[in-house]
Structures are given as structure tokens and as C-alpha cells.
Amino acid sequence: MAKKVLMCGNEVLAEAAIMAGCRFYAGYPITPQNELPAYMSRRMPEVGGVFIQSESEISAINMVFGASLRGTRAMTSSSSPGISLKQEGISYLAGCELPGVIVNVMRGGPGLGNIAPSQSDYFQATKGGGHGDYHQIVLAPASLQEIVELTMLSFDLADKYRTPVMILGDGILGQMMEPVELEDSVERTADSEKKSWILDGCKGREPRKIRSLLLEDGSLETFNRKLQKKYTEIKDKEVRCEILYGDDSDIMVVAYGTTSRISRNAVEKLRSKGKKIGLVRPISLWPFPEKELRRIAEKVKSFLVVEMSCGQMIEDVRLSIDCKKPVHFYGRSGGGVPTEDEIIKEVEKIV
């Protein structure tokens, strides 16, 4: 077993990316994710990778675009206002079918908001924050150990499906330290030989082009249908979610990331009092665990969605279950973090 270390979430994520073979990072400072670029600036040169502090968020995502089309595993990170700026580049990654990992350590918004933890970029992340008919895979870790797991997974998924993948965290997960094991396995590096689509000079082959511009009549529609086919495959294969007490609960709490940790403790406390409460924790926010929720909706009386927002994921919960059961909501916004007691009180109100 690897030795446990105490690192903050931002650093853990950076190290996990390096373990996953990420060899290009570009980013622009913004709180609360500053430890991530700082860590990369030190570690990347040690592993023969590239670190660039870019002039803007826009440049950072486009540098990732460049490194990725050359076959290198590449990542950028930011927090909410910065992620808004990256949307153009994410749309181009999707349109050009390039892999890329984007980290959003969410803070309060709208506008400059504040630097406190938040989950109010759910819509932006899961509904396609940029322009056009596209999706990105969105993974939401709830602990530092899961940051390791999901960061490594995100690079694999990005390559496998040639798509942008977002890791959606928040100020708490980025800033907090808790014991974590960094896998001791051999460092993996992306094998660019396997990528048959990269631009590396046309030696011994026909020249390639990477583009999202499709002007010929009908060609963009054809391409978008192809993208949708890929998204359908992702929906079939890449849903990840954790269910607690799914078989004998009257009320199911639904929460992801930081709020799922807090909800879990609330659920356990209620269980110890004999209350029939369970938890659904979506790990992939896109694709969303629709089928799992639909199945659970057959058994439970109602749902309680808990978010650090004014109500965003709740829409996906309602859609998933076709509004067949009541869906209640408890949210804190602008830096407010729900407590176990608040969640327990909400559940008791419903009971």
C-alpha cells in the first residue's frame, strides 16, 4: 500500500494528472485553484513536461488545443470566471474531436462573485457551456482520494472518445487537505503512436487537417450526427454513480461532490435513528445517471436534492424520473456550505 500523504486537493489533482501521463499544462492564476499551477510549474520540468503560465484563460485552453493535436496529454485548470472564458476553446476541442482535460475548482458567482466554494457552474458544465451541439464528460469527485482516481480516468476517457473532459470540483475540494494515497504504480504516459489522427508532420503519409469548419451543404449536420452517436455511446458506457440504501429508502438525497460528503453523514445519522433515508451520488454529471434514478423512483416516496447552488442539478433529477415523484430542494449559494444538521432538518420536514 502506498504511503498516505497530506496534500491539498489542487496539488493532489496536479500530481494525479502527471501520473496519468499529462505532459502539458497551461493556466492562469485564479483563486481558489492557485496551488495547481504552482505545483505544475515545479513538477512539469521534473518529468520532462511543459508548464506555461499563459496570458489569459483563452490562451491557456488554446495552448491545450495545440498540445493535444500534436498528441500530448494536456490539461488546463481554473475557477468559475476563468472557465467562462475557456468555453470558446472547449467548443473547438469538441468540434475538432480533440482530447483535453479542464479542471473547474468552482467558486461563487455570477460575475466575479467571491472565492468561496460553490457548485453553481453545473449548468455550464453539463449543458455545453460553449456554442454548438456538443457535450463534454463531467466528473465530480467527492474526496481527495477520488480526485486521484477520476483525474486519471479523465485522461483515458478524453483520449478514448477524443473529447474534452471536465473535472468539476469546488473551493473546498481544492483547498482542503486530507490523507491520500498516490498510487505507486508505474507512471503511465500517453502513447501518441496509437493516435492515428494527430498532426506531427506528414512524413510517409498524406497530410492531415484538423478543423471544425464544415461549409459544404449538409456536412456539418452529418458530422453532428456522428458526434451524437459518440455521445450516445458515452451515455451507455460511462455513467458513474454511487447509491447508498437504494433498496429500502423512503427518501433519497441526491448530491454530488462536496455536498454529497455532507449528505452522506446526514443520511448515516438519520439511519442510526431508524429513518429510511438513502443517497444517490452522481459521479459523472454528464452523462447523468438517469436510468439509476428512474429505477430508484419506482421504490422511493420522494427525493431531496442538495446543492451549493440555487437549484441546477435538480432539473436533471426531475427529468430523469419524469417528475413521477416529488423532488425537494435544499441549496446554499454564494459560498454557503450546507451542514449535516440543515440537511437532517430538511429531511425531517419532508417526513
Q: Which is nearer to other proteins, 81 or 238 (CB)?
A: 81
Q: Do residues 116 and 335 touch, judged by C-beta distance below 8 A?
A: yes
Cβ 206 to other proteins shortest distance, Å: 9
Q: Report the nearest approach of other proteins to the CB of residue 186 (Å).
A: 22
At closest approach, how far in Å is the CB of 252 from other proteins? 18
| Of residues 70 and 275, the one with the C-beta less far from other proteins | 70
Output 200 or 221, the one with its CB closest to other proteins: 200
Between 2 and 323, whose beta carbon lies closer to other proteins? Answer: 2
- Least separation, in Å, of the C-beta of 31 and other proteins? 5
C-beta closer to other proteins: residue 64 or 314: 64
Tell me the closest approach of the beta carbon of residue 24 to other proteins, in angstroms: 5
Applying CB under 8 A, the residues found at the interface with other proteins are 4, 6, 23-24, 26, 31-32, 50, 52, 54-56, 58-60, 62-72, 74, 88-89, 92, 96, 115, 171-172, 175-179, 199-204, 207-213, 215, 258, 261-266, 337, 339-340
Half-sphere exposure of 213 (CA within 13 A, CB side): 1
Helix, coil or strand: residue 213:
coil
β-pairing, 24-27 vs 74-78, is parallel
CA–CA gap between residue 169 and residue 185 (Å, rounded): 25
CA distances from 127 to 67, 110, 124, 130 (A): 26, 17, 6, 9
Instruction: Count how many residues are written for the chain.
Output: 351
Three-state DSSP class for 15?
helix
Nearest distance from C-beta of residue 115 to other proteins, angstroms: 4
Q: Is the peptide bond before 37 cis (omega within 30 degrees of 0)?
A: no
Residue with Cβ nearer other proteins (100 or 287): 100
> Is the CB of 261 or the CB of 301 nearer to other proteins?
261
Tell me which amino acid residue 300 is. V
Q: What is the DSSP letter of 297?
A: H
Considering the complex, state which of residue 31 and residue 224 has its C-beta at the smaller distance from other proteins.
Answer: 31
Q: Which residues 6+ apart lie within 8 Å of 298 measured at CB? A: none
**Shortest Cβ distance from residue 299 to other proteins (Å)?**
25
Nearest distance in Å: CB 323, other proteins: 30
C-alpha span between 82 and 90 (Å, rounded): 12
Read out DSSP for 91-149?
Answer: HHHHHTT--EEEEEEEB--STT--SSB--TTHHHHHTTSSSSS---EEE--SSHHHHHH
Residue 5 CA to residue 191 CA, distance in Å, equals 29
